[in-house]
Amino acid sequence: MNNNPLISWWMPPLLAVQFLTRLPVPGLNALTAEQARYGLSRSVIWFPLVGALIGVITAAVLVASEHIWPRAIAVIIALAIEARLTGAFHEDAVADFCDAFGGGHDAESTRRIMKDSRIGSYGALGLILSVGLRAALLIALPQDIIIITLIASACFGRFLAVAVMALVAPVATQDVGLAKDVGGRTGLSDLFLAALIAAPVISFFAYSQPIAALWGVGAAGLFLFWFRALLLRRLNGSTGDCLGFAAYAGQLIILLAVLAVVGP
């Protein structure tokens, strides 16, 4: 089989759903390993749209729960449902990233800690603070913009992960995983297509909150500049956990920008 195995046009978006969520996706069992790997590399442009879908479900749970319980309880329920929906995909990456970059002293030790399934003090603290910050931001957001902000942040976070894939090659010693199988084939053209797919969601958010959108994009640009330099200095590349951390950071950046502009 050649390097570009034939796949149907609808397979990449379905593979993106399968990869980023625990939703059952029919029609993919017949793919060969090579087709699945190639299809997944083409699916990254759909990550922002899948992120928006996750945001829609989380927002729906939050709004429904808020009709029964106070906002703080509704937010916790929504985040718990989202974690089940995604398999706590990005939260696990946040913990691994914080452990590795907090406890690692060089590239080898950083990679070794990142591969360890156990969570250390850096990982536990990083996970608690990041999830707690996101919960606090959702609790503080004004009622009239919480839905669009939550959806936009979920979309933008996955777009930021695609940006890291396009800007930072996977670590050379990594044989398998998201960064190697997917990120290694992601280029600026994929980033452009991902931006086009994310544009309707982000544009609606920008129309609703133009100043916050500008703050968020600016902060994300600074984050990417710092994050790329950090990954190249500490790892000489990226890993799947680095991409997951970027996705979670992207969500927090949008939420922080909105609350900084509009206030609670």
Q: Comparing 116-125, 173-182, 199-208, which segment has the lowest mean pLDDT?
A: 173-182
Residue type, 38: Y
Residue 62 has which token pair? 């939050």
pLDDT in tens, 142-164: 999 999 999 999 999 999 999 99
Tell me: pLDDT of 1 over 50. Answer: no
Residue 4: what pLDDT? Answer: 58
When the pLDDT of each residue in the chain is averaged and rounded to a whole number, the result is 90
pLDDT in tens, 79-118: 999 999 999 999 999 999 999 999 888 888 888 898 888 8
Sequence-distant (6+) residues with CB within 8 A of 163 are: 191, 224, 246
Question: Mean per-residue pLDDT for 182-201?
Answer: 87
Residue 2: what pLDDT? Answer: 43
Residue 106: what pLDDT? Answer: 85
Phi/psi-derived region of residue 119, left when phi > 0, alpha when psi is between -120 and 50, beta in every other case = beta
Is the pTM of the predicted complex or chain greater than 0.85? yes
pLDDT in tens, 19-68: 999 998 887 776 766 777 777 888 999 999 999 999 999 999 999 999 99
Cβ 130 vs Cβ 94: under 8 Å: yes
Residue 97: what pLDDT? Answer: 95
3-state helix, strand, coil in the chain (%, to 5): 80, 0, 20
d(CA 163, CA 220): 10
Residue 33's Cβ-count burial label (10 Å; 0-12, 13-18, 19+) is: exposed
Q: How confident is the model at residue 222 (pLDDT cuts 50, 70, 90)?
A: very high
